């Protein structure tokens, strides 16, 4: 096989690594890797394409995905409102898709299974 290097053959990969190390110049600032918008869009599409066809899965989704943002709070001291924490769910890039998935699960339970969905609201 040509891919196996012996002691007598020069290692082509070693040359590549050496050349790239010689040309490497460190960045001036710390750069974080960018998460591609394309990846987020693909995940959104995948969440939108999930079909709810199983009652157990629908119940699980309805229980796991909250009906309202759990982080919104009023800060009360001695019965007086001293602050407010706004809902942070809208910062989630998948918020709309998760709400839609929960809605599809609840619709499946109500329409196909005939269940009362009041306990999930």
For residue 56, give both structure tokens.
Answer: 């157990």
Q: Rounded to 5 degrees, what angle do the CA atoms 68, 70, 71 make?
A: 125
Is residue 4 a part of any domain in this protein? no
- DSSP-derived letter for residue 22 is H
Whether this model's pTM surpasses 0.85: no
Is residue 10 a part of any domain in this protein? no
Q: Are 100 and 51 in contact (CB under 8 A)?
A: no
Is residue 67 a part of any domain in this protein? yes
Q: pLDDT higher for 10 or 115?
A: 115
Is residue 43 a part of any domain in this protein? yes
Tens-place pLDDT, residues 2-22:
444 444 444 444 444 444 444
Is residue 22 a part of any domain in this protein? no
Q: How many domains does the chain have?
A: 1
Closest listed residue to residue 112, CA positions, set 57, 59, 53: 53
Is residue 11 a part of any domain in this protein? no
Q: In sequence order, what are the residues at sequence separation of 6 or more whose Cβ sits closer than 8 angstroms to the Cβ of residue 97?
A: 44, 47, 48
CA distance 121 to 113: 17
pLDDT at 87: 83
Its domain, for residue 98, covers 36-120
Tens-place pLDDT, residues 61-112:
999 998 888 778 888 999 999 998 888 887 888 999 999 999 999 999 999 9
């Amino acid at each position: 096989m040509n891919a196996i290097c012996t002691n007598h053959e020069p290692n082509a990969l070693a040359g590549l690594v050496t050349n790239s190390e010689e040309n490497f110049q460190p960045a001036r600032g710390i750069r974080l890797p960018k998460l591609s918008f394309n990846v987020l869009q693909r995940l959104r599409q995948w969440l939108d394409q999930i079909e709810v066809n199983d009652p157990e899965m629908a119940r699980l989704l309805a229980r796991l995905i909250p009906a309202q943002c759990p982080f919104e709070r009023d800060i009360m001291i001695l019965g007086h409102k001293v602050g407010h924490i706004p809902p942070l769910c809208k910062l989630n890039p998948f918020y709309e898709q998760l709400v839609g998935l929960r809605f599809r699960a609840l619709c499946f339970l109500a329409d196909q299974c005939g269940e009362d969905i009041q306990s999930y609201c």
